[in-house]
Structure 1
Amino acid sequence: MRTDIIHSTFLRATDAHACPADNPAPDVARAASGAPKSAWQPRAALFFTVFLPFALGQYMHALLRNVNAVLVPDLVASLSLNPGQLGLLTSTFFFSVVLAQLPTAYALERHGPHKVQLAMLLLAALGALMFSYGETLTQLVLARAVIGFGVGGTMMVAVKAISAGVVAERLPSSVGFLIAFGGLGSASATLPLRRVLEVTDWRGLFIGLAALTAAIALFAWLVRPRQGGAPATKAPSARALLEVWRNRAFRKTIMLVLLSHTIYWGIQGLWIGRWLSDVARFSEGTVAYLLYLSMAAVIFGAIAVGMITEWAKRRGIAPLDVAAIGVAGFVLVQCAIVLNHAPTFPQLAVLFTLVGTITGIEYTIVQQSLPRELAGPASSCLNMLIFIGAFLVQAGFGQLIGLWAPDALGHYPAIAYRVGFGVLVLVQLPGLVMYALGRRSASRMAPLLVAEEDFAKPA
């Protein structure tokens, strides 16, 4: 990923964010006189002290969220887990992320993004260490919950810190770059970790992940700006969350995108890999490679979504319309999985993750559609809904697959996955239908509104 592209995202907001207008710093003053060095330095400082530390936090969030997708054979062999238990173990991450939302929001109000990032990642490192020493399903579930709680607020903290230094029209690209770092973490949780497992077991792997998480936490703390930072915001109260829920723009957004977002996160971190193993009968090495390609696609998909959203907005196309096209494509990919056409299995695995990145547009739509005073509560509310849904999808999908008996090799039948993905398609269709009906109603009303305005004009 080219850092000069990311640097340009911060170009217009840097001077106002870095230095007060009435007392510019020497570098900014030299920038005004045309010196190229000073034009680069504020953007570079903002990138390395604000964007990169929080993007690395998002990297660890995705890595730790998806690590179980590659570890399934090892965990099943160690603990003899059935699909329901496997779904519970992995989905516990999402449930604990939900629990982390409000505490993270209150901590942000009191201590700011960098202190919260440090505490969260150190807690996640402790959870990874606990996981490496877990001997029973209960111990591993508890450790997984600690990990989820530790990285549960990374997106909220990142958006909070970065939005202070980015102009509003650049927010979609900024969020896209954040999600791209998450895609890099997801990709690292596949083939690279499978290579690590060739020299150590899953317990040694988690010790290494604990060390890496702690190192990123310390890096973020050491490079933090020594003054300034994101402006203080009020932590979301129950009343504010209720006000967000009553907001029509918020409800329209989640009605269309929320279910697809939860399905994307709940399935791609575990069940796509199991589908490739059980139905396509690929080896674990091949599964890891396809998951690597899938997760790597997130990087390009996330950046593309941000750029397409900005391009569409300049041409009068609303972000919600872009989201509708993407969600429809995501549902079509799932329909193709239900059809069970074996030659297309590898392509469908990659397309599920690539097209699913469109669901990340939800954060941008919510931030841009709601009043500024509701932006923080809206992010908290959205995160809670997404992770609750992802928990239910990941655990529920495992329970559904478990209704069928495995064969002698432990593979579950294709019909189990076809039914599972069919159910997912059915629950997403009402949102698309309601969006289409709303668009049709709005188009019918538009000429009437124009005529009413013309009638009201004085002669």
Structure 2
Amino acid sequence: MNKSYSRKMVARVFIPFAFSHLTSFIFRNINAVLAPFLISALSLSAGQLGLLTSAYFLSFSLAQLPVGLALDKYGPKRVQLFLLSIAATGSLLFYVGKDFSTLLLARILIGLGLSACFMGSIKILSFYVPSTKLPSIHSYLLAAGGLGAMLSTLPVAWIVEFTTWRSLFLIMAGLIVVVMFTITIWTPADPVEHRMVKWPTLSSLLEVYKDKDFLRVIALFLLPHTVSFGLAGLWLGKWLEDVGHFSTETVSLYLFISMGAVIVGALSVGSITEWAGKYGLKPMEVGGVGIGLFILIQTLCALNCLPLMPVLSVAFTLIGAITGLDYTIVAQRVSPAMTGRTATCLNLLILFGAFLIQTVFGFIVDFWPQNSQGQYPSIAYQMAFLLMVLLQIPGFLYWLMRVISQRSLRNPSVG
């Protein structure tokens, strides 16, 4: 890949699709700031709030397999433009919706419409980027998502001060139209040689889930990734508000910094992984160490230590960025013609898991009664965080024991 072709890729491929990925992260995390307004306007319980917010992940995840097939069959540009029109419709419906059911439907449409933003980016980048450079370019893409997450915090809080939360979704619909225009004008047509001629059979999709390497990746990464997505997008802010008793403005500021840490974390993951590779360390080993640290951060969150809460909210997203390494590991092991299917098989598990995590966390918290300010007690969040930690430990220990076993075989003790 020569230098001029690299510039063409960045200008005409990476930027428009990174723009769409950024937009999807704004929608994904926006309810973390809007939660007090939604609760007030619709009298939502914690369970309803969790369901409304996680509906994005549900529709997003259910769309992954057909979207992956469509990306391989029709190419990312055509698929992306079609789906973004659905997302714009969902945003407009959220703007006019007056009850929980309507907003739930709108959130489902938004999730469906944005379901190809990341996978489409991975697919189109696989046409132009050498395999050895994928960790870095994927880290830039994840950083774009982190920027979108940042924009969903303090900037959203500022906008809501001058308008209503409903009007915000009208603005977001306009932003999606801008993304569609950018992709239409800038992005080149998809290379025909990388398109799938026939739709694959169900058995060819199941082969992805049966692959031993794929199973090893999800055993380590899946649950931490779902927790990272699910909690940062909603419950991290509510935890700061209910347990830390911070104001809405202060919570927005902490979330803004936390989402900024996503950018730092994503860029660092790519650099650290490539650096570690020079010394013979594989991405799975880098990911295992990072996930161990991520579980430790969650354990500290479960302690509800008030002075540490702002620091932990930042550390949660900073260290949690390591979970995005699973996309790179999967993408490195398949041909460009299969990237859509394989990556979306992974994404299906992650996003459906995030839906479950976000919903279950809310229902656990809902076991305890609210106070007069609509806040839940500390013990509710302690139990919810503790369950998250317990779910992730088996996968981490399985990876750790496997590493120890492999090192023992390579370096047997001398009797």
The residue aligned with 1:53 is 16
The residue aligned with 1:144 is 107
Taking the aligned partners of 2:349 and 2:204, their CA distance within structure 1 comes to 15
Q: Residue 409 of structure 1: SS of its match in structure 2?
A: coil
The residue aligned with 1:191 is 154
Q: Residue 198 of structure 1: SS of its match in structure 2?
A: helix
Match of 1:78 among 17, 22, 41: 41
Match of 1:385 among 319, 334, 349: 349
Taking the aligned partners of 2:283 and 2:127, their CA distance within structure 1 comes to 22
Structure 2 unaligned segments of length 5 or more: list them: none
Taking the aligned partners of 1:227 and 1:157, their CA distance within structure 2 comes to 11
Structure 1 unaligned segments of length 5 or more: list them: 1-12, 16-38, 449-459
Q: Residue 340 of structure 1: SS of its match in structure 2?
A: coil
Verify: 1:294 aligned to 2:258, yes or no. yes
Verify: 1:223 aligned to 2:174, yes or no. no
The residue aligned with 2:215 is 251
Taking the aligned partners of 1:208 and 1:286, their CA distance within structure 2 comes to 24
Partner amino acid for 2:260?
A
Taking the aligned partners of 1:105 and 1:199, their CA distance within structure 2 comes to 40
Offset at 1:421?
0.3
Offset at 1:245?
1.5
The answer to whether the Cα contact below 8 Å between 1:112 and 1:230 also exists between their aligned partners in 2 is no
Q: Residue 166 of structure 1: SS of its match in structure 2?
A: coil
Offset at 1:110?
3.7
Taking the aligned partners of 1:101 and 1:377, their CA distance within structure 2 comes to 9
Which aligned pairs between 1:30-429 and structure 2 lie closer than 5 A? 39-40=3-4, 42-225=5-188, 228=191, 231-233=194-196, 237-370=201-334, 375-429=339-393
Partner amino acid for 2:369?
A
Displacement over 6 Å in runs of 4+: none
The answer to whether the Cα contact below 8 Å between 1:278 and 1:411 also exists between their aligned partners in 2 is yes
Taking the aligned partners of 1:288 and 1:103, their CA distance within structure 2 comes to 36
In structure 2, the CA distance between the partners of 1:130 and 1:412, relative to structure 1 (3 Å rule), is same
Partner amino acid for 2:31?
N
Offset at 1:228?
4.2
Q: 1:39-58 CA deviation, whole Å, 9 max, x = no partner? A: 54x33322121111110110
Taking the aligned partners of 1:81 and 1:237, their CA distance within structure 2 comes to 43
Taking the aligned partners of 1:387 and 1:228, their CA distance within structure 2 comes to 28
In structure 2, the CA distance between the partners of 1:189 and 1:59, relative to structure 1 (3 Å rule), is same
The answer to whether the Cα contact below 8 Å between 2:24 and 2:148 also exists between their aligned partners in 1 is yes
Q: Relative contact order, CA 8 A, sep 6+: which one is greater?
A: 2
Q: Residue 292 of structure 2: SS of its match in structure 1?
A: helix
Further displaced range: 107-116 or 284-293: 107-116
Match of 1:441 among 392, 405, 408: 405
Taking the aligned partners of 1:229 and 1:158, their CA distance within structure 2 comes to 17
Taking the aligned partners of 1:161 and 1:251, their CA distance within structure 2 comes to 25
Offset at 1:280?
0.1
Q: Residue 89 of structure 2: SS of its match in structure 1?
A: helix
Identity of aligned residues (%): 41
RMSD: 1.8
Taking the aligned partners of 1:46 and 1:443, their CA distance within structure 2 comes to 41
Partner amino acid for 2:183?
A
Offset at 1:99?
2.0
Q: 1:104-140 CA deviation, whole Å, 9 max, x = no partner? A: 2233234321111211212111110000111111100
In structure 2, the CA distance between the partners of 1:370 and 1:216, relative to structure 1 (3 Å rule), is closer
The answer to whether the Cα contact below 8 Å between 2:65 and 2:341 also exists between their aligned partners in 1 is no
In structure 2, the CA distance between the partners of 1:258 and 1:226, relative to structure 1 (3 Å rule), is closer
Partner amino acid for 2:147?
L
The TM-score, its normalising length taken from structure 2, stands at 0.96
The answer to whether the Cα contact below 8 Å between 1:62 and 1:183 also exists between their aligned partners in 2 is yes
Taking the aligned partners of 2:128 and 2:335, their CA distance within structure 1 comes to 19
The TM-score, its normalising length taken from structure 1, stands at 0.87
Q: 1:411-448 CA deviation, whole Å, 9 max, x = no partner? A: 10000001100111111111111111111221222246
The answer to whether the Cα contact below 8 Å between 1:105 and 1:236 also exists between their aligned partners in 2 is no
Taking the aligned partners of 1:313 and 1:378, their CA distance within structure 2 comes to 23
Q: Residue 75 of structure 2: SS of its match in structure 1?
A: helix
Q: Residue 332 of structure 2: SS of its match in structure 1?
A: helix
Q: Residue 197 of structure 1: SS of its match in structure 2?
A: helix
In structure 2, the CA distance between the partners of 1:124 and 1:259, relative to structure 1 (3 Å rule), is same
Partner amino acid for 2:99?
T
In structure 2, the CA distance between the partners of 1:267 and 1:235, relative to structure 1 (3 Å rule), is farther
Q: Residue 269 of structure 1: SS of its match in structure 2?
A: helix
Taking the aligned partners of 1:229 and 1:54, their CA distance within structure 2 comes to 19
Offset at 1:343?
0.6
Partner amino acid for 2:151?
S
